[in-house]
Amino acid sequence: MNLDAEHRQAIETRLDHNAAGTEPAKNPALVDELATQMTQTPHEFARRDLIPAIAHLPLPQWQRFRDWQAGTRRNDPATEDELYAIKRGLRLATKMLPTNTAEDRAELLEEIHTWRRINGRSPSDTEIISALDRHLMRAPFVPNIPKVDPYHRVVGPNVNPPWPSGLEFLFARGGHHFIPQAVYKRLGLPQDALKVFRDATSGPLMPKDHQNDQAHRRYSDAVAKEIDRWLERKGIDPRKMTETQARELLKHVLNSKNPVIREYMRMIGTSRSRYIQRYGSRGID
């Protein structure tokens, strides 16, 4: 079989990776392009030449697209079911994710495929929403531009903690503070860092799912220890913490492998998913 230059280059690149034991870098833009085509215009995806893509995707990922293409060509019910779940997931991502980047959609594609492989079925809309909520609980809750809130309108931006008695309600955001208020208030943070932690919340949760109970207190203690270790390792004085450092610390806590933190975050994600299912992504807040 005669190969043109593009196909020959793709195959040679793949063979080079095989020989070196390496894989191409992640390519979310190409993954998003292929996923969009196979869910929106499956007849075109069925005819698409996937060989050039083998040079630009990790082999397991390329093989999955090849399998989806084969299933599409033969009208395989299992493939159709999985592609329908992916299509629903991409639509929900458009509604829920504030950025909805190619990286977001590529990650969701992987999560849906992994879910099906583990559970033997495609995830429901509720389960997809839960997956998207776990994604939302990473960085997007840290706003790039702090929103105007009652505190700044009523008290003014120059008042430092401890906050005036009787005005605590002005600082409350919807749902769960990922860095609990009892933890960040003790740090003596400057205003820029303080706003990051005050604004980093889950959004509204189902009633009675978020209380100052034993589980929350264990979470707060675990977060406090995680923060203390991080500050010591980085050599950062919390009284001089910058906004950038606060965002880095928040990301560190959200990605913590501490089982107490992970389990409580899982509960918060479940509650947030139930809230969205009942009230919508904006809800009644």
Count how many domains the chain has. 2
Give the global pTM.
0.51
Do residue 208 and residue 115 come from a single domain? no
Do residue 63 and residue 154 come from a single domain? no
Nearest to 139 by CA among 98, 194, 92: 98
Do residue 159 and residue 268 come from a single domain? yes
CB hemisphere CA count around 228 (13 angstroms): 8
Do residue 16 and residue 118 come from a single domain? yes
Do residue 125 and residue 192 come from a single domain? no
Do residue 110 and residue 193 come from a single domain? no
Do residue 53 and residue 131 come from a single domain? yes
Q: Where is the domain boundary, 136, 161, 187?
A: 136
Q: Where is the domain boundary, 136, 164, 182?
A: 136
Do residue 74 and residue 155 come from a single domain? no
196-212 pLDDT tens trace = 888 888 777 777 788 88
Tokens 């050039």: give the residue: 52
Q: What is the pLDDT of residue 17?
A: 87
Q: Where is the domain boundary, 110, 136, 162?
A: 136
Do residue 266 and residue 160 come from a single domain? yes
pLDDT (mean) for 31-37 = 94
CB of 36 within 8 A of CB of 81?
no
Any domain includes 142? no
153-199 pLDDT tens trace = 433 443 344 444 443 333 434 678 889 988 998 999 999 898 888 88
The DSSP 8-state label assigned to residue 177 in this structure reads B
Do residue 154 and residue 236 come from a single domain? yes
Query: How crowded is residue 222: how many other Cβ atoms within 10 Å of its Cβ?
Result: 20
* 238: preceding bond cis by omega (within 30 degrees): no
Q: How far apart are the first and last CA of the chain?
A: 63
Any domain includes 284? no
Any domain includes 143? no
Helices (H) and strands (E) in the chain, counts: 13, 0
Structure tokens at 117: 């492989």
Angle between helices 243-254 and 214-234 (to 10 degrees): 130
Which residue range(s) make up the domain with 212? 150-279
Write the single-letter amino acid at 61. Q
